[in-house]
Structure formats: C-alpha cells, structure tokens
Amino acid sequence: MGKIFKKIDDYKWMIPKDYKPGMKVPGIIFAKESMLNEIAKDKAHEQVANAAMLPGIVKASFAMPDIHFGYGLPIGGVIATDIEKDGVITPGGVGFDINCGVRLIRTELTIEEVQERLSELIEELFNTVPTGVGSSGDIKLSRKEMKNVAVKGSIWAVEKGFGTDDDLKRTESEGCISIADPDLVSHKAYERGEDQLGTLGSGNHFLEIQVVEDIYNARLARKLGLFVNQITIMIHSGSRGFGHQICTDYLKTMEKAIKKYGITLPDRQLACAPYMSEEGQSYVSAMACAANFAWANRQILTYLTRKAFEKVFKKDWEKLGMHLVYDVAHNIVKIEKHKINGKTKTLAVHRKGATRAFPPGHPELPEEYRETGQPIIIPGDMGRASFVMCGTDKAMEEAFGSCCHGAGRILSRHQAKKRTRGRDIAKDMEKMGILVKAASKSTLREEIPEAYKDVTEVVEVVHKAGLARLVAKMKPLGVIKG
Amino acid sequence: MGFREIEATADIGIEVWAKSYENLIEEALNALFFLSFDLNNVEKTKSFEVEVEGIDEVDLLITALNEAIFLIDAKKFVFKEAKVSKISENKVKIRLYGEPFDPKKHTKKNSIKAATYHMCYIEREDDKLKTKIIFDV
C-alpha cells in the first residue's frame, strides 16, 4: 500500500507523479487509511492515475472518499483542465448519466404527523411518479418542445407550471446552463428522451421520505430550514436516455478527435478533445442540453411529489412547507474560475460522482446561501442515512470547490445479487422500519445497504478534511425505486 | 461460443468468446439481450436491420452494442438474437430479431445505459477471439 499511496495527512493521500509514466500531475485521494485497501483492491486508484495524463490537467487528479471503480474517471473523481492552454474536455469525466444529481425538499411536517400515513404516502408516490427501466412518463414531447427543454432546463419546467422561481434559485446554476445548443444533439437522443421527462429511472435512482435525525450545526441547519424530527424528501435522478445517448454519440466523436489531435491515452473511455476545439465545443454544448433536461426532470419529479403529498394530506404543498433546500449535479463539467499558484484560471472542472461545494460568499450562490456556503446533498444507501453539508473555503483551495456525492459502492451488482439469493429485500427493510416499493425486485437486491460503503464514514472524511461542514443527518422512512 | 459475467463494481462486465469477429459481435449482443431481459418469453416476430461503422474493431463492436441499446430504449423492443455480416473493414450489417416490448409478457432485468470503451480489447488466440466489455447500468 505504501508503494501506491503517500500519506499527506490523516485524510489525504497522494499517488506520486512517478507512479505511472505519462502522469502530468499527482493523484490526490481524500480517504482515511482504513479505506485504502478497498480502493486498491478495486483498482480505482489506477483510474485516478490515468486521468492525471489528460492534456491540460492542472494541480492534481482528485478523488473523494466515496471513490470506486468506474470507467474512464473513477466514480468520485474530480479533475480540472486549463481551457486557455489546450486543456481537454472528456465525456468519460462526466459519465453517461449527465447531470445525475440529487435534490432535497424540506417540509413542515414532523415524524409524528407522517408515521401513520407512511404506507399511504409511499403508495401514492409510487402511483404518481413513473419508475423503472425505460419507464415512460405522462409527458410526451414534440421535437420542438424537447429542444425548449434542452435550452431552458428547469426554467422550462417552471414556465409550464411545474415549480416556482424559488425552486430555480435553489438549484445549481439555477437549473439551466446557457451554452446549450439543441442542434448539436442527435435525433437518436431526442427519440430516446422524448417520453422520459418526469420519470425516475432505475438502478440507484430513488425518491425517499426521510426524517431529520441529527443536527450537527444548529446555525447552518436553521438557515437551511432544517430541524430534528422534520420530514424531508430526497430525489435522485438524471438525464435518462437523452443524456445516455448524448454521451454515447460524443464518445464516438472523441474517438476520432484523439487521432486528429494526436492525443495518447491509457484508456479509450477517457477519449477527449481540446475544450476550445470544434469537437470540444460541440460536446459541451450538447452536454449542457442533457444537464438542462436532467434539471427539468428533477423539477417535474418535485411537482409530482408535491401533488402526492397534497393528495394524502389534503393541503396545498405551500402549506405543507414543501420548499426546495437545494439541487446539486454530481456528473457534470462546469467552466469555473479557480486560483492556481496565486493566478486565476478558467478551468473545465469535471465532477464524476462528485458534488460542487462552493464556500460562503461565492457569487454563484443564491443570496440566501451566501452566508452558509452551498448546501451539499449526500444520499446514502436505502437502509442507513443521508446527509446535508455546506461548502467551505478549504474545498475551494484544495479541490476546485468539490466534495463527495454519496456512499460509493463496494459490492458489484453481481455480488449483491449472489449474496441476497432467496431474500425478500422489501420485507427485510420493513423489519428495519423502512418501507420500500420498487418496480423491480432484482433492483432492490442490487441496492442492498451492504452493497455500499458506510456513508457516515465518507462524510466524516470530507468533514475532517475540511471540504465541507456537516449540517444534518436524515434517516430513511420510505423509499420508491425503479 | 459464449460469454460470462465478470465483476465490475458499479456496472456489469462481460467476457465474450467467439470463433470469428462477426460471431464476437453476435455473442456480445446476445449477452446484452440476456442481461436486459428474461428471454424465455421473447419471440422473434419482427426484425430490425442496421448498419454500423467504427474506426477500428473495438469501436465497431462498441458501436454495434450501443445501437442495440438505442433500439431497446427508444423503439421499446426486446431482442433475442442477432445476425452480423461484414460489409467492409469498418462496417457491419446487423439484423436483430425480437418483438415490441410488452410489460405484461416481458420481464426487464437491467437498464443498460451504454457499452463503454473502458479497457475494452479484442484478443486473438489460435482460432478464437476474446473480448471484455463493461456496460454502464
């Protein structure tokens, strides 16, 4: 282990630049010592080292404590390239589910008010929110309307009555990246996405009713409107088939681009092009379309959730206090300004299974969160807990204002299924006091809590490394899944 | 020839063997169908024909798989079998056999987002070809 990871401090480990030939910067992994074995076994550190070879990469190839083996960049990976110095952009640094992300909705309901209605609520949510593999929603869009979604994102959803201006303010990038160009998206992508807006999807995507169990920072919690025993709702979903197809299409473009620009890479999934090149510009403009689609999607899922609560509690969602706390993307490239060796640079920051964690005072934050720092939503597995944190100056100094995105898998889906043969997971969860309703029993077996790292340990590392501050812990009460 | 599932932490990996390059694509497609649906109830009443291009053998293989993933997701089809014929060095013709997806009849197993290029290679050994593919799920 000592050969791969060099200790910087208790929560920060370095893969030196000479670990592999071709590395332009070192790898930095935020983790505690007991996690390193698992990381090495998974070979995720190799992917950190591979990403360090990307042209134009600055500072380091970073990985968060929820790191695990992905493709191209590991999950939990953060890299930034200097776009003014031939820095590249890579779809492999974003992933197929462009702008997969999470949002947290708070309520004024307490556990006492919800406990008895929980099964009714879960039933209602399951009937209202389309879930599952390739599920179709009630909204089928014309090509023209799809292009509007791609350009406007959450703004489109709000204009159509699926949300409010406050929802937009509390969404990363206000739910819309302006450089989206819908003409750079293929017919195939439109076809794949046209009936998937307002659907949850399958795999690790979920909608969860939670209760705030613990508050770690009373001041920040108050500012975010969180209190003990409060009911919250977390939504995890992405850009569905629309985003997957955009990534697929542009990987093919990048395969050609690496030959054109003479870029050599250790892994074809890292195929890339200079950000300023035609290929780079086309990808980022198409990626923005998928990101916008994902924000519109989570906004519509929010609308459906509010409807389900209104039906069960026979009160308007505003009266139930169902306001958005925040929405974060965790698979995306953002153009951001960061200081490198004292100089401000414009960077293409790739976060793949990592969340933005901007500090207090950052101009991109909404007024109400200028003082707290950006709220960060960290989902755990369906049995343990989820967390809310806030961004810090240290995250900005150390890792381009980034932190972890969740628990991170430790068991493959295959292993999880093997381990759960013959088990009824929904029943097991019910014994733990958590109601689960899923479109597929096999998805539930893949998503068992033990398939994930303990999210508490992950957020502890992030907190102690100073990348984010712990604010609140939520425990799951009811979950719907694909 | 055949395929087997291999470990990939968050995704699904497969190893595929075949006697020819065309057969390798067919077997990889069969693996994709097996991972996506319970094939017991799938009938071959309809077929799609597609042509795919790649810059090399790996790209062509991955592109063929992604084309089938698109048809499954966008056209709402279930496939059971694929026949592949080579047109030129970088181009193949694929005929996919199956039927429209019917939620009452068919069971979906995994929602595969895409086939990745991650560490994908094609190995030739005597009269056998071997490949490893990771799917994002």
Q: What is the pLDDT of residue A240?
A: 95
Token pair belonging to A52: 């360090």
Q: What is the pLDDT of residue B10?
A: 77
A42 in contact with chain B, both atoms CB, cutoff 8 A:
yes
A409 in contact with chain B, both atoms CB, cutoff 8 A:
yes
* Residue position matching structure tokens 């950000």: A275
Token pair belonging to A24: 């332009």
| Position A252 pLDDT exceeds 70 | yes
Query: Nearest-CA neighbor of B59 among A247, A275, A269?
Result: A269
Q: Which helix (H) or strand (E) holds B83?
A: strand B77-88
Contact A280, A88 (CB under 8 A): yes
The SS3 of residue A145 is helix
Q: What is the pLDDT of residue B125?
A: 87
Tell me the helices (H) and strands (E) count for chain A, helix number first.
Answer: 16, 19
Output the DSSP codes for A279-316: HHHHHHHHHHHHHHHHHHHHHHHHHHHHHHHHHHHTS-
B52 in contact with chain A, both atoms CB, cutoff 8 A:
no
Q: What is the pLDDT of residue A135?
A: 63
| Position A100 pLDDT exceeds 80 | yes
Cβ-Cβ contacts under 8 Å, A255 against chain B: 55, 59, 117
**How far is the alpha carbon of A426 from chain B, nearest alpha carbon, in Å?**
18
Mean pLDDT of A430-438: 94
Task: Closest CB to B116: pick one of A44, A201, A269.
Answer: A269
| Position A2 pLDDT exceeds 70 | no
pTM of the entire predicted model: 0.96
Contacts with A189 (C-beta within 8 Å, 6 or more apart), sequence order: A241, A242, A245, A246, A249, A286, A290
Percentage of chain A surpassing pLDDT 70?
Answer: 99
* Residue position matching structure tokens 């389309």: A130
**How far is the alpha carbon of A368 from chain B, nearest alpha carbon, in Å?**
36
Q: Rounded to 5 degrees, what angle do the CA atoms A89, A92, A97 make?
A: 110
Token pair belonging to A55: 């042209």
Type of residue numbered A11: Y
This model of the complex carries an ipTM of 0.94
Quick one: chain B helix, strand, coil %, rounded to 5? 25, 45, 30
Contact between chains at B136 and A201 (C-beta distance less than 8 A): no
Mean pLDDT of A283-298: 98
Is A405 marked active-site?
Answer: yes
Contact between chains at A192 and B74 (C-beta distance less than 8 A): yes
- Residue of A205, A413, A450 best to disrupt the B interface, most CBs of B under 10 A: A413
Per residue in A341-393, pLDDT (tens digit) is 999 999 999 999 999 999 999 999 999 999 999 999 999 999 999 999 999 99
Q: Which residue of A has its CA nearest to B35?
A: A414
Burial readout A16-45 (b: 16 or more C-beta within 10 A, e: otherwise): ebebeeebebbbbbbbbeebbeebeebebb
**How far is the alpha carbon of A448 from chain B, nearest alpha carbon, in Å?**
13
Q: What is the pLDDT of residue A134?
A: 54
Q: What is the pLDDT of residue A82?
A: 98
A247 in contact with chain B, both atoms CB, cutoff 8 A:
yes
Cβ-Cβ contacts under 8 Å, A72 against chain B: 116, 118
Contacts with A382 (C-beta within 8 Å, 6 or more apart), sequence order: A206, A208, A429, A434, A436, A447, A449, A476, A479, A481
pLDDT category of residue A15 using cuts at 50, 70 and 90: very high
Contact between chains at A413 and B12 (C-beta distance less than 8 A): yes
pLDDT category of residue B9 using cuts at 50, 70 and 90: confident
A69 in contact with chain B, both atoms CB, cutoff 8 A:
yes
B35 in contact with chain A, both atoms CB, cutoff 8 A:
no
Q: How would you classify residue A14: left for phi > 0, otherwise alpha for psi between -120 and 50, otherwise beta?
A: beta
- Residue of A39, A75, A269, A411 best to disrupt the B interface, most CBs of B under 10 A: A269
Q: What is the pLDDT of residue A132?
A: 61
The SS3 of residue B67 is helix
Contact between chains at A413 and B111 (C-beta distance less than 8 A): no
Cβ-Cβ contacts under 8 Å, B120 against chain A: 268
Cβ-Cβ contacts under 8 Å, A202 against chain B: 110-111
Per residue in A74-95, pLDDT (tens digit) is 999 999 999 999 999 999 999 9
Q: What is the pLDDT of residue B126?
A: 87
Cβ-Cβ contacts under 8 Å, A140 against chain B: none
A38 in contact with chain B, both atoms CB, cutoff 8 A:
no
Give me the sign of the Cα torsion angle A421, A423, A425, A431: negative
Report how far residue B14's alpha carbon sits from residue B5's, in angstroms, rounded to the nearest whole number. 4
Q: Rounded to 5 degrees, what angle do the CA atoms A84, A85, A86 make?
A: 105
Per residue in A130-182, pLDDT (tens digit) is 886 556 677 778 999 999 999 999 999 999 999 999 999 999 999 999 999 99
Mean pLDDT of A321-328: 98
- The H-assigned helical ranges of B37-107 are 57-74
Cβ-Cβ contacts under 8 Å, B10 against chain A: 68-70, 75, 409, 412-413
Report how far residue A107's alpha carbon sits from residue A109's, in angstroms, rounded to the nearest whole number. 5
Q: What is the pLDDT of residue A1?
A: 56
Per residue in A110-131, pLDDT (tens digit) is 999 999 999 999 999 999 998 8
Per residue in A19-71, pLDDT (tens digit) is 999 999 999 999 999 999 999 998 999 999 999 999 999 999 999 999 999 88
Type of residue numbered A9: D
Residues in chain B: 137
| Position A423 pLDDT exceeds 60 | yes
Report how far residue A264's alpha carbon sits from residue A260's, in angstroms, rounded to the nearest whole number. 11
A251 in contact with chain B, both atoms CB, cutoff 8 A:
yes
Query: Nearest-CA neighbor of A478 among A121, A116, A112?
Result: A121
Q: What is the pLDDT of residue B8?
A: 79
Contacts with A125 (C-beta within 8 Å, 6 or more apart), sequence order: A207, A209, A304, A305, A308, A478, A480
Q: What is the pLDDT of residue A203?
A: 83
Q: What is the pLDDT of residue A284?
A: 98
Percentage of chain B surpassing pLDDT 90?
Answer: 81
Alpha carbon of A9 to those of A25, A38, A62, A400, A461: distances in Å?
A: 19, 19, 15, 19, 11
Contact A31, A48 (CB under 8 A): no
Q: What is the pLDDT of residue B86?
A: 87
Average pLDDT of chain A to the nearest whole number: 95
Per residue in B81-135, pLDDT (tens digit) is 999 998 898 999 999 999 999 989 999 888 899 999 998 899 998 889 999 999 9
| Position A271 pLDDT exceeds 70 | yes
A419 in contact with chain B, both atoms CB, cutoff 8 A:
no
- Name the E strands within A18-123: 27-30, 61-71, 73-82, 88-89, 101-110
Q: Which residue of A has its CA nearest to B108?
A: A133
B121 in contact with chain A, both atoms CB, cutoff 8 A:
no
- Residue of B59, B73, B79 best to disrupt the A interface, most CBs of A under 10 A: B73
Query: Nearest-CA neighbor of A291 among A415, A162, A154?
Result: A154
Task: Closest CB to B10: pick one of A75, A247, A248.
Answer: A75
Report how far residue B111's alpha carbon sits from residue B91's, in angstroms, rounded to the nearest whole number. 27
Which positions 76-105 of B are in contact with A (Cβ < 8 Å)? 76, 101
Least confident segment among A426-435, B8-17, B28-37:
B8-17
Contact between chains at B117 and A259 (C-beta distance less than 8 A): no
